[in-house]
Amino acid sequence: MSVTGKRILLGVTGSISAYKSALLVRLLVKAGAEVRVVMTESAKAFITPLTLATLSKNPVLSTLVTTESGHIGDGSWNNHVELGLWADAVVVAPASAHTLARCATGLCTDLLSAVYLSARCPVFFAPAMDVDMYHHPTTVENLRRLESFGNHIIRAEHGELASGLVGEGRLAEPETIVHLLDEFFKPGAGSVKQGILSGKQVLITAGPTQEPIDPVRYISNHSTGKMGYAIANAFAKAGATVNLVSGPTALPLPDPAIHRIQVRSAQEMFVAAQDAFNEADIIVLSAAVADYTPAHPADRKIKKKEAVFSLELTKTTDIAATLGSRKRPDQWMMGFALETDNEYENAVKKLQTKNLDWIVLNSLRDEGAGFGHDTNKITVIDKGGQTHKFELKSKDEVAQDLVNLIKKKLMSV
């Protein structure tokens, strides 16, 4: 592994996720890394220094001076500069909101913050906190500031939190952190975000559209936006800059770094997607856009009178076809096809007529796939005619499969 022989200084802060640091230390040591641990005082309430010292095979430090008698003059100096120079990487995991704030503003109040300010090596922050704390503007700004300083952010994951809420805020799994470090130390890499998607602009459409009949009623579909939001999250975690054009959903933003543009109608979605299209390197059109919209929406509520009511509909702009006709050779585009009959043939036709590079086929005949589910079963067809079939998975896993397919293609050109 690329992390073998590397010197990793692990900072552990006061978060319930601190218990995961034991596994993180064990995995790093097993991978051949030399690990030293610096804990904040509040971290000791969640995991003991003895546990981490035993696993790392090094003393755990938490104060600038280590004493036996309690008197500063009787102790030994824990040189924060030396620690910062020793490390090949500093990894703060879990990074509490308090620690993020201190590091982002340069407050030097304990050994860990002193090491951070002294470190000349790459520094990685893996946040862990409750969902509302993670999405609070101050935390978002602190993460942005830390990233602007050249630090690396290992984004929090979505799931059930200690509070009982479900959302973003979970510490990235130790296996994920070790994998990212291993990727970072690979020759020619140099960053967990300097993979093939680093710096890429990604445009994603997600969710349904609502086509107004009158101020009260609209035409829509059963899309929840879950698949598109999962894709946006996967791209953000891979280091891409994500613009998410979202129809009406009840979903929270999956990653604070994602720029969400909220729209309602198919026309609004087309305008927003068109505005972001030229700057995009990758376009993923996963929204369920209405094919037709009322030709003359009423400006007042339509009263129930006739036994039969006719509604004139007109075609909406075909976003995939329009953007596909403008696609440059350096752009890559993926579309979605939700079908009930002649699935493969219809998907291939859409792939070809809309000038897509990939088409993701969903069949409503597959149990657990399609709208409303937390799972999906897809078949991806590329413009070269190659077919990739995937089993039923969570939408987060499906999103990662799609990102991996795109990464593989980018690495081959």
Domain limits, the chain: 7-184, 201-412
Tokens of 381: 């067809």
- What topology is assigned to 7-184 in CATH? Rossmann fold (3.40.50)
Report the distance separating Cα 25 and Cα 30, nearest Å. 8
Residues 94, 12 contacting (CB under 8 angstroms): yes
Q: Tell me the per-residue pLDDT of 362-377, one tens digit each, with 9 for 90 and over.
A: 887 777 777 778 899 9
Report the distance separating Cα 228 and Cα 241, nearest Å. 15
**CA-to-CA dists, residue 134 to 95, 329, 351, angstroms:** 11, 38, 39
> Coil, helix or strand for 179?
helix
Give the rounded percent of residues in the chain with a pLDDT score beyond 70.
94
Q: Tell me the per-residue pLDDT of 39-90, one tens digit each, with 9 for 90 and over.
A: 999 999 999 999 999 999 999 998 876 555 444 444 455 567 788 889 999 9
Is residue 340's pLDDT more than 90?
Answer: no
pLDDT of residue 193: 45
- Determine if the peptide bond prior to 252 is cis (ω within 30°): no
Is residue 194's pLDDT more than 60?
Answer: no
CA 413 to chain centroid: 25
Question: What does CATH list as the number for 201-412?
Answer: 3.40.50.10300
Give Cβ neighbours of residue 258 (< 8 Å, ≥ 6 apart). Answer: 232, 233, 236, 242, 243, 244
Q: Which amino acid is at 70?
A: G
The lowest-confidence range among 10-14, 168-172, 190-194, 306-310 is 190-194
Q: Is 357 annotated as a binding residue?
A: no
Give the chain's length: 413
CA angle 36, 40, 43 (to 5 degrees): 100
Mean pLDDT, the chain, rounded, equals: 90
Q: Is 57 annotated as a binding residue?
A: no
pTM of the predicted protein model = 0.58
Q: If we measure between CA atoms, which residue out of 361, 355, 319, 353 comes closest to residue 337?
A: 361
Q: Is 336 annotated as a binding residue?
A: yes
* Catalytic center residues: 221
Q: Is 301 annotated as a binding residue?
A: yes
**More confident of the two residues 190 and 294:** 294
In CATH terms, are 7-184 and 201-412 the same topology?
Answer: yes
- Terminal-to-terminal C-alpha distance of the chain: 26
